Amino acid sequence: MRITAYGEDALLVNFVQAIEPELNDKVNLLANKLRNEDYITSMIPAYCSLTISYDPNKISFNDLKNTIEAIDLAQEKEQLEKRQLTIPVCYDDKFGIDLSALEDQLSITKDEIINCHSSTAYRVYMLGFLPGFPYMGITDEKIEAKRRDNPRKKIEAGSVGLAGRQTGIYPFDSPGGWQIIGRTPIQLFEPQEKIPFLFQAGDLVNFKRISSDEFSEIAAHIKEQTFNWKQIYG
């Protein structure tokens, strides 16, 4: 672990530069440990690093550095709870708008892409580039996909994409260059909730293939606020 200053009121905690669940656990454990301290103003967890902003009137860089170095992450790991979510996805052509192109790029069929994507449990490593956008991995190497050469000006909210060995879901309508293979009717952002985003770093996510009719039914229940969210958790 290496701790360096990041401006006048922030520091950067770097672990080994690799995408590994164990390293990401350390990032999330450290964030959880510091989250309620009154001198912390914000934290940004990434794959293997944590950016911490703090109030220099309440704690100095050196004192915060010493506090972090004194935390026993191995002991904290016993208290780490991982949520498990199951996200319904419709992979029909009208939603999986890049599946045909990916057949050529990856030299496998649409069904193989879909089966491969929906048969793996993924970790949410971090949230960004849009608020609440979950970066999940690691996908099977058979569906490792290049980003689009020409990003789209608009990708619909709920679109599920591939980029490299990552998969993610667009929480809002947005420009983007990920390869789109499906869409979920689940809303990733609820502004009225205390925690407005569906995903948290460290979550474990499975994708469940659904039909177009099931997509419409779930979307209608969500709009009418009658959707049973217990289907998502656990």
Query: Do 110 and 202 reside in the same domain of the chain?
Result: yes
- Residues 13 and 129: their CA atoms lie apart, in Å, by 20
In percent, the amount of the chain with pLDDT more than 70 equals 97
Question: Which domain-ending residue is among 49, 79, 109?
Answer: 79
- Residues 54 and 37: their CA atoms lie apart, in Å, by 10
Mean pLDDT of 39-53: 93
Q: What is the pLDDT of residues 154-201, one digit of tens each?
A: 999 999 999 999 999 999 999 999 999 999 999 998 877 777 889 988
Query: Do 97 and 196 reside in the same domain of the chain?
Result: yes
The per-residue pLDDT for 73 is: 84
The per-residue pLDDT for 162 is: 98
Say whether pLDDT at 17 is over 90. no
| pLDDT band at residue 234 under the 50/70/90 scheme | low
Q: What is the pLDDT of residues 71-82, one digit of tens each?
A: 988 776 656 667
Query: Do 14 and 103 reside in the same domain of the chain?
Result: no
Domain assignment of residue 28, given as a range: 2-79
Say whether pLDDT at 88 is over 80. yes
Query: Do 113 and 212 reside in the same domain of the chain?
Result: yes
Cis peptide before 138 (omega within 30 of 0): yes
- Residues 130 and 159: their CA atoms lie apart, in Å, by 13
| 115: CATH | 2.40.100.10
The alpha carbon of 117 is separated from its chain's Cα centroid by a whole number of angstroms, namely 15
Sign of CA dihedral 52, 57, 60, 61: positive
